[in-house]
């Protein structure tokens, strides 16, 4: 499996990362090298082995249904470039 | 995924086109907000309203380094909902990241369940008046996060973002494409809402957005291959679901009949003009790049956890309905109204215990619910208590008052309160069963209308007119049955 330049551009766009044509070409090479490594893993027989999503022998911890957080709107929006009345402001997005 | 069709086409649901009939196929994805105090992965409040960004933790705002910790109560409610829909419960499920960019989604991904949802296949029984019940198959229920809210009308060039809703737990309940008309779709959503409210897992408040539906609509020739569907997003009332389906089906039929094809797309319903419109102008195929969320381990629980929830389930609408029909002799249709809200059924049973089920049912549905619906009062706040309504039903049964007077009495109790028996006494509403007094009124009416007396010999049904006159003369208090019998005897009609 390998990716072409258009796919690289598309992946970058999905991640909202702007890359130049030259960058895309370089990254195409890097990504294909990575995919090459991954391909080697396909030689391993994983028949009947469940996909592993974690390496820790733990089960998911659960929280009680109690309100313990909130009431800090000023902190929440503190780093935002533009705010009004503790709302975040973003360029208008209307469907 | 292959789609199977379990329905037999019903001509009642067909829509006439210019060259033959069409059938609508509908499936729904319902987002039901879990009625929890805190969010799915944070300790911030889920309360509706609240100042902007006041119910937001650093987790909900996706600040770097914050980690989600799941709310056990939300897990329990999803399992409870699954059991209520007779669905299989998956004791191991996995949370995935659904990646996309939008200002209401600070993480850049929604934590959802893709491949391994917490609840698998179940069913909802949908009933329409005078029709065979329809079993709608549930494909799955998964847990996911709600997004924030955007306000577009505050500023000419900016959108305002409030994350209070961001991270609130939703159950997405996905149906198979088993619905065939707008009425069926409305009945399905109504039934689902009723079940959720019985279970207490979602308050079903559509105005506050606790229950929202994405409606998948396609059209086809009756019984034919499934057509291409359009998804109408975020419809927030049962009435709008009906309107959106009617409009969308018509649009697709017109499009196909004019030689066009339906594009699979997302559309929005506009309640102002009752139309749907395309939502994304430059539709780019969605590529959510789902993958297991590395911040969360698989969600697992043992059978004992499921069993404990199952043991605690309330009597659900279908079972309650069957019991009311069996115990009180009410009709299936009346029973479905009584069980539509748990509180209505409870009220009915309070009154019906030890009384006639059918009479009680008529009073609860026709008089009480009729009046309460008119003013929009829920039955829990009814000004007429079950004891008061019970007394009215008793007074009719004991023949102390007639049915007509009972309605007046009901109006008085509704408006002023008080003990129905006392009101009947103090206001002289008792039915006159004294034959002397009735006879006097009967004689007077007969004497005053010699022409009608002539006519009634030709046409015995005219006796009803005499009954009416006597009842009027007695101020509605004469026992109508006694009046009827006496009139028939005196007029010589059978």
Q: The pTM is what?
A: 0.87
Whether B278 maps to a domain, the answer reads: yes
Using CA coordinates, name the residue in chain B closest to A59.
B297
B323 burial via Cβ count (<10 Å: 0-12, 13-18, 19+): middle
Q: How far is A76 from chain B (nearest CA, A)?
A: 7
- Indicate the number of domains in chain B: 3
Whether A86 maps to a domain, the answer reads: no
Same domain, B411 and B302: no
Tell which of B376, B403, B423 closes a domain: B423
* Distance (Å, whole) CA A79 – CA B149: 19
Q: Which residues pair with B160 in a beta bridge?
A: A89, B151
User: Tens digit of pLDDT for each residue in B403-421?
Assistant: 888 999 999 999 999 999 9
CA angle B478, B481, B482 (to 5 degrees): 65
Give the residue-averaged pLDDT of B471-481.
81
CB contact under 8 Å between B157 and A91, yes or no, is yes
Same domain, B30 and B145: yes
CB contact under 8 Å between B53 and A89, yes or no, is no
Whether B440 maps to a domain, the answer reads: yes
User: Tens digit of pLDDT for each residue in B281-304?
Assistant: 444 567 899 999 999 999 999 999
Whether B220 maps to a domain, the answer reads: yes
* Distance (Å, whole) CA B474 – CA B458: 27
First to last CA, chain B: 71
Residues of A in contact with B45 (CB under 8 A): 67, 70
Residue window 83-142, chain B: list those with CB within 8 Å of chain A.
Answer: 94, 99, 101-103
ipTM: 0.90
Same domain, B37 and B107: yes
Whether B2 maps to a domain, the answer reads: no
CB contact under 8 Å between B159 and A68, yes or no, is no
Tell me which residue range forms the domain holding A29. Answer: 5-42
Same domain, B236 and B147: yes
Q: Does B278 touch chain A (CB under 8 A)?
A: no
Q: How much of chain B, in percent, has pLDDT values that exceed 90?
A: 76
Q: What is the CATH number of the domain that holds A18?
A: 1.10.20
Q: Are B79 and A71 in contact (CB under 8 A)?
A: no
Whether B209 maps to a domain, the answer reads: yes
Q: Does A93 touch chain B (CB under 8 A)?
A: yes
Using CA coordinates, name the residue in chain B closest to A63.
B71
Same domain, B401 and B470: no
Mean pLDDT of chain B, nearest integer:
93
CB contact under 8 Å between B53 and A56, yes or no, is no
Whether A62 maps to a domain, the answer reads: no
Q: What pLDDT tens digit does each residue of chain A (95 aa) get?
A: 789 999 999 999 988 899 999 999 999 999 999 999 999 998 999 999 887 777 777 888 999 999 999 999 999 999 999 999 999 999 998 75
CB contact under 8 Å between B151 and A87, yes or no, is yes
Q: Between B51 and B4, whose confidence is greater?
A: B51
Same domain, B83 and B162: yes
Residue B2 has a pLDDT of: 66
Position B355 pLDDT exceeds 80 = yes
Q: Does B297 touch chain A (CB under 8 A)?
A: yes
Whether B14 maps to a domain, the answer reads: no
Whether A50 maps to a domain, the answer reads: no
Q: How much of chain B, in percent, has pLDDT values that exceed 70?
A: 98
Residue B339: CB atoms within 10 Å? 23
Tell me which residue range forms the domain holding B139. Answer: 23-309
Residues of A in contact with B150 (CB under 8 A): 93
CA B141 to chain centroid, in Å, comes to 20
Residue B359 has a pLDDT of: 94
User: Tens digit of pLDDT for each residue in B315-328?
Assistant: 999 999 999 999 99
Q: Are B137 and B121 in contact (CB under 8 A)?
A: yes
Using CA coordinates, name the residue in chain B closest to A17.
B101
* Distance (Å, whole) CA B168 – CA B188: 24
Residue A84: CB atoms within 10 Å? 13
User: Tens digit of pLDDT for each residue in B236-262?
Assistant: 999 999 999 999 999 999 999 999 999
- Indicate the number of domains in chain A: 1
3-class SS string, B26-76: EEEEEEEECCCCECCCCCEECCCCCCCCCCCCCCCCCCCCCCCCEEHHHHH
């Amino acid at each position: 499996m390998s990716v072409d330049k258009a796919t690289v551009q598309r992946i970058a766009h999905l991640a909202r990362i702007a890359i130049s044509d030259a960058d895309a070409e370089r990254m195409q090479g890097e990504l294909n090298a990575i995919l090459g490594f991954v391909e080697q893993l396909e030689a391993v027989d994983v028949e009947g082995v469940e996909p592993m999503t974690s390496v820790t022998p733990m089960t998911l911890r659960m929280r009680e249904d109690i309100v313990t957080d909130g009431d800090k709107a000023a902190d929440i929006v503190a780093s935002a470039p533009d705010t009004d009345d503790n709302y975040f402001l973003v360029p208008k997005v209307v469907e | 995924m292959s789609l199977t069709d379990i329905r037999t086409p019903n001509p009642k649901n067909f829509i006439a086109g210019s060259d033959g009939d069409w059938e609508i196929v509908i499936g729904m994805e319902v987002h039901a907000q879990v009625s929890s105090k805190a969010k799915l992965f944070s300790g911030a409040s889920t309360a509706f309203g609240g100042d902007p960004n006041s119910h937001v933790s650093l987790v909900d705002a996706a600040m770097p380094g914050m980690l989600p910790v799941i709310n056990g109560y939300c897990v329990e409610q999803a399992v409870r909902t699954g059991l209520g829909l007779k669905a299989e419960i998956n004791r191991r499920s996995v949370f995935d990241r659904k990646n996309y960019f939008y200002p209401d989604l600070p993480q850049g991904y929604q934590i959802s369940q893709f491949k391994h949802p917490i609840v698998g296949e179940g069913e909802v029984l949908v009933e329409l008046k005078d029709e065979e019940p329809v079993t709608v198959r549930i494909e799955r229920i998964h847990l996911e996060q709600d997004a924030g809210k955007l306000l577009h009308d505050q500023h000419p060039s900016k959108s305002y973002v409030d994350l209070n809703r961001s991270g609130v737990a939703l159950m997405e309940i996905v149906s198979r494409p088993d619905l065939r008309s707008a009425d069926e779709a409305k009945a399905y959503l109504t039934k689902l809402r009723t079940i959720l409210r019985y279970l207490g897992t979602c308050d079903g408040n559509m105005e506050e957005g606790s229950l929202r539906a994405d409606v998948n609509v396609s059209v086809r020739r009756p019984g034919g291959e499934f057509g291409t569907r359009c998804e109408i997003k975020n419809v927030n009332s049962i009435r709008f679901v009906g309107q959106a389906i009617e409009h969308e089906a018509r649009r697709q039929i017109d499009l196909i009949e004019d030689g066009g094809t339906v594009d699979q797309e997302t559309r929005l319903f506009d309640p102002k003009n009752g139309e749907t419109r395309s939502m994304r102008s430059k539709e780019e195929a969605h590529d959510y790049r789902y993958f297991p969320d590395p911040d969360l381990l698989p969600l697992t629980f043992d059978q004992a956890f499921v069993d404990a929830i199952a043991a605690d389930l309330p009597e659900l609408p279908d079972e309650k309905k069957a019991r009311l029909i069996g115990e009180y002799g009410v009709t299936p249709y009346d029973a479905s109204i009584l069980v539509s809200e748990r509180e209505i059924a409870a009220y009915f049973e309070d009154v019906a215990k030890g009384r006639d089920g059918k009479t009680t049912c008529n009073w609860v549905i026709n008089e009480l619910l009729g009046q309460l619906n008119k003013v929009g009062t829920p039955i829990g706040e009814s000004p007429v208590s079950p004891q008061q309504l019970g007394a009215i039903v008793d007074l009719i049964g004991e023949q102390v008052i007639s049915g007509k007077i009972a309605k007046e009495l009901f109006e008085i109790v509704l408006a002023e309160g008080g003990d129905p028996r006392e009101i009947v006494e103090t206001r002289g509403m008792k039915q006159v069963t004294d034959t002397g007094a009735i006879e006097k009124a009967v004689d007077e009416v007969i004497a005053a209308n010699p022409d009608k007396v002539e006519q009634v010999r030709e046409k015995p049904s005219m006796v009803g007119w005499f009954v009416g006159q006597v009842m009027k003369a007695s101020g509605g208090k004469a026992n109508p049955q006694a009046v009827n019998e006496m009139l028939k005897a005196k007029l010589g009609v059978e």
